[in-house]
Amino acid sequence: MKKIKNEAELLNKFCDVFHVKPLLRTPFLNTEYNEVWSTDGRVFIGINPEILTKEYPKGEHPFPKLEFPCEKTITIEALNKAFNSCPMVDEEVVVEDAVECEECDGSGTVYWEYTDNHGNTHERLMDCPICNGEGEIEPCKTKKTGKKIIAEDTVVEVRNAHFFANQLRLLKTAMEYLNADTVKMTHNDPKGANEFIISKDIRIIIMPMLFDYSFSCSAKLELVD
Contact residues: Zn ion, CB under 5 A: 101, 103-104, 128, 130-131
The least distance separating Zn ion from the CB of residue 104, rounded to whole angstroms, comes to 3
Q: Which is nearer to Zn ion, 109 or 160 (CB)?
A: 109
Taking the complex as a whole, the smallest distance from the CB of residue 108 to Zn ion amounts, in Å, to 6
Torsion angle in degrees (nearest 10) through CA of 42, 199, 74, 215? 0
How far apart are CB 112 and Zn ion at their closest, in Å? Answer: 13
Closest distance of CB 45 from Zn ion, Å: 41
Task: Please state the closest distance from residue 122 (CB atom) to Zn ion, in A.
Answer: 21
| Nearer to Zn ion among residue 98 and residue 180 (C-beta) | 98
User: Which residue, 91 or 103, has its beta carbon nearer to Zn ion?
Assistant: 103
Whichever of 91 and 100 has its CB closer to Zn ion, that residue is 100
For residues 4 and 128, which CB has a smaller minimum distance to Zn ion in the complex? 128
